[in-house]
Amino acid sequence: LSGGRRDAWPTPDQELLLRAALLPDGRALAAWQGLLTHLGGSEPDLAAQSLLPIVRKNLSALGIDDEHLASLDDAQRVAWASNQLLLHRTLPVVAELERAGIPTVLLKGAAFLAGPGAYPGTRTMGDVDVLIPTEARGAAIDVLLEQGLVAAGGAPPWYLVEYAPRYVPSHGFEDGRARQLDLHWHVLHWSCQPDADDDFWAASLPVELLGVRTRRLCPADELLHVILHGLRWNAIPTYRWVLDAGLIASGACGEVDFERLVAQARMRRVVAPITAGLEYLRELADAPVSGAAISDLRSERVSRLERIEFQAHLAQPRSRRPIERRTIQHQQYVRRHLSLGEKPTLSRRVRLERRRLGMVRWRDVRQALAGGRPGPGRPSSQVAAAIGSGSVSPSVPPIDFGQPVELRDPEVLRRYVAYGAWLSEAEGPSSPEPAGCWLAGREARLVLPLVRPARASLLLGIWADGFLNARRRSQRLRVSVNEHPVSALEIDAPHANLRDEGIVLPREAIAGDRTLELTLEMPDAASPVELGLDDDDREIGVFLRRLVLREPPRYEIGGALELGEGAAEGAFAGGWGAPEPSGRWTVGARAQLLVRLDGSPLDLDLEFDASPLVHPSRRRLRVEVAANQHRLAAIDYDHAVASCAPARVSLPARAWPRDGELLLAWRIRNPISPSALGMSDDQRLLGLFIRRISLEQANRQRR
Amino acid sequence: LETGGEVDWGATVVPSSDITAQEVEGELLILDLGSSEYYSLNDVGTAMWALMAEGRTLEEVAAEVCSRYEVADEQVRIDLSSLVAALREKGLITLRGPGGEPAA
């Protein structure tokens, strides 16, 4: 039935099925017979299967019966049983949300079953749609995760909390036990302002379903929602919206206040789709739609942009023309920044578009007209993504060593990001999200002025999240400073986060400089479309949270360097887990420490107190120790020798650094996770748990 | 249902806590939430289920069905005992004796 789909409108065969389901007279039979002739013996698609119960019910009510209809008896029973299973398993999660103080509203299928005209075998539901207050989305997601649900498509939690709400109104959650819940933080794609749903909440009605007290939208709002949801391209055919809308219009959920529907359509600037939807309902299914409502809507002036926007939403995203894409992006931005009912005048549109494109200042406009300074990875669909001067003003406040550079701070972005940070849709260009900012496309550059010139190597601590899910399991992040490549990181699912990952900025790349140019390359940047999350086609690199520049600590020969909580973080040059009370784990194939030494070269003994991750099923662990690229020793840990005395290796004077900087490295052969060994659910690739290190003069040790 | 070959007509039916049942288009649908299997009852079975769900004894159910459908008492008792046996076999109900004790 879905063959030949070009847009979200039903195909001719789908229309026959809808007419058989909805028309109240012999035309329903004619449609049914026409459908049988067209289809022959082919199997109906999933969307059609979900409509078959109501076809059976409608034709039976008209006294029509035939062998094909008789074969649909089971469809009613299956629809009822699958709906009951879904509701019995999923509604307890809704109850948990309510118990956690998060109010809920049931939408679409579940709302029909909670309504006064509920017919339990009407159509099959794929999931339970639940609206929660926008500001409660983080808490609601926590409840769902506690209940054992996971985000569909493996979407990262930060994406759902901090990114998706700006572009999509909901995301699906599921588990392996048939629980399917679509969590809505907004009702509509079209209205994602912070106050977009206040009116829906105010008019919602209390209901109880399977003992769970919740709410549903009033019939007019539910009709608005169903039409707008249906008249939008979806990979899975959504033509059953016609059935739902037809039932609502006929009063199955209570009397529809068409005046309210018209007022809502005007206020939310969705007159074009609502008019088209109501006219279609009346034409196709003789639905009792108020003629006065259609007249009112038709007399409303609809801007050309809104008409293009509507047509673009009907079309398959990949077939949208460039003007349709740009119109959607402009309209989304305008819709999010104007409160409900506020008219998008030309001056407001220009002001908002300049903000969206990062062209608030006239010199930004000039730069854009001159080809901009886009940065190599700028996505073609986003002029705004990377426009910037490529440098920052020399007058911006310098950064002190150890001072966190929080990318969630709008001032930080304005001062230090030359290009490549996403222009947030919240406050205008260079405005970050609550926890950081996402980087656009494949390259971003920050220019960091220092309080004093770097005299030696520095350590850069970086906090970032990969944009990963089941379709993309790892992402590369290359870091350069002053055009010198310094690190090539791999962010792997499920360890998708970098938390204070240390990167050495070597003396030769930065010595004497008062300004560091930090370039982040993300060759695997991808759009949510590519990851199958939603239809946003802009490329995202990583979500950058924080940077810290540190000077490595000075180490006095004979002293001990504790690695547990409270240790000098400036020493950790990558490959370490979070500090624990008595030490920390090496994570991955290499962990490094950087310290500064005083004095003349000496033969030293390096001692480190460490325990290996060994197990009866992984009995040996080989660790190589190096200092400033000099291999010092290889140590084999054995499960049979569980209690390990501190390891001691010689560090000859020839390995003594000329510049006093000692970079110690532990290379772990085949690190493994406790999870893989069945020890815990920790999926980090661990090697050694190191508590402390010390350096002693060699002859002193021997004495 | 049967004790020593005798039907305990004084017993009442207790639906399992792991089922849900609803009348849809004139037939009763019963879903076992544990196994995900569903069952349907015809109109007479639906009427019997409704009476049993009211807490009536099997004796009372049989009498009510006899008068409602004008069917011989013996036939109704045969049908009712078959239905109850089938529902018990599927784990959809248990029986409780006149004193509230579980019936065999």
Average the pLDDT over A615-643 and give the result.
Answer: 85
A60–B31 C-beta distance less than 8 A: no
Question: For residue A89, which residues of chain B lie inside 8 Å, CB to CB?
Answer: 33
Question: For residue A57, which residues of chain B lie inside 8 Å, CB to CB?
Answer: 25
A276 versus A329: the higher-pLDDT residue is: A276
Q: Which residues pair with A546 in a beta bridge?
A: A406, A463
Q: pLDDT tens for residues A124-159?
A: 788 999 999 998 988 999 999 899 998 887 776 667
Confidence (pLDDT) at B83:
93
Select the residue from B20, B24, B27 to test the A interface by mutation, using most A Cβ atoms within 10 A.
B24
B96 versus A194: the higher-pLDDT residue is: B96
Confidence (pLDDT) at A379:
32
**Sign of the C-alpha dihedral, residues B85, B86, B87, B91?**
positive
- Whats the size of chain B, residue-wise? 104
A702 pLDDT more than 50 = no
A81–B36 C-beta distance less than 8 A: yes
Question: Which chain A residue is nearest to residue B34, measuring alpha carbons?
Answer: A85
Q: pLDDT tens for residues A431-443?
A: 566 788 878 777 7
Q: What is the mean pLDDT of chain A?
A: 83
Q: pLDDT tens for residues A333-391?
A: 888 888 888 889 999 998 888 776 656 666 656 655 655 443 333 333 333 333 344 44
Average the pLDDT over A665-669 and give the result.
Answer: 94
Residues of chain A with pLDDT > 90, as a percent, come to: 35
A60–B25 C-beta distance less than 8 A: yes
Q: How far is A470 from chain B (nearest CA, A)?
A: 29
> To 10 degrees, the CA torsion angle through A57, A63, A66, A69?
0
The span from the CA of A45 to the CA of A43, in Å, is: 6
How many Å separate Cα A590 from the centre of its chain? 30
Average the pLDDT over A631-646 and give the result.
Answer: 80
B25–A121 C-beta distance less than 8 A: yes
A57, A80, A89 ranked by CB distance to B22: nearest: A80
Cα angle value A210/A212/A214 (rounded, 5°) = 125
A364 versus B83: the higher-pLDDT residue is: B83
A304 versus A113: the higher-pLDDT residue is: A304
Please name the residues in contact with A54: beta carbons below 8 A apart, sequence gap of 6 or more.
A21, A122, A123, A243
B22, B24, B33 ranked by CB distance to A85: nearest: B33
Highest-confidence segment of A220-224, A424-428, A624-628, A667-671: A220-224
Q: pLDDT tens for residues A18-75?
A: 999 889 888 998 998 888 887 766 666 666 777 888 888 888 888 887 777 777 778 7
Select the residue from A54, A57, A69, A85 to test the B interface by mutation, using most B Cβ atoms within 10 A.
A85
- Confidence band of A119 (pLDDT split at 50, 70, 90): low
A76–B38 C-beta distance less than 8 A: no
Question: Which chain A residue is nearest to residue B29, measuring alpha carbons?
Answer: A77
Say if residues A430 and A423 touch (Cβ distance below 8 Å): yes
The span from the CA of A426 to the CA of A136, in Å, is: 18
Confidence (pLDDT) at A432:
60
A582 pLDDT more than 60 = yes
Confidence (pLDDT) at A275:
97
Q: pLDDT tens for residues A227-265?
A: 999 998 877 777 888 988 998 998 888 899 999 999 999
The span from the CA of A277 to the CA of A241, in Å, is: 10
Q: pLDDT tens for residues A62-115?
A: 888 777 777 777 878 888 898 899 999 999 999 999 999 999 999 988 888 887
Question: Which chain A residue is nearest to residue B38, measuring alpha carbons?
Answer: A81
Say if residues A604 and A557 touch (Cβ distance below 8 Å): yes
Confidence (pLDDT) at A645:
76
The span from the CA of A484 to the CA of A486, in Å, is: 6
B22, B38, B40 ranked by CB distance to A120: nearest: B22
B36–A85 C-beta distance less than 8 A: yes
Average the pLDDT over A387-407 and give the result.
Answer: 73
Other CB atoms within a 10 A radius of the CB of residue A484 amount to 14
Confidence (pLDDT) at A322:
82
Residue A497 burial (CB < 10 Å; 0-12/13-18/19+)?
middle
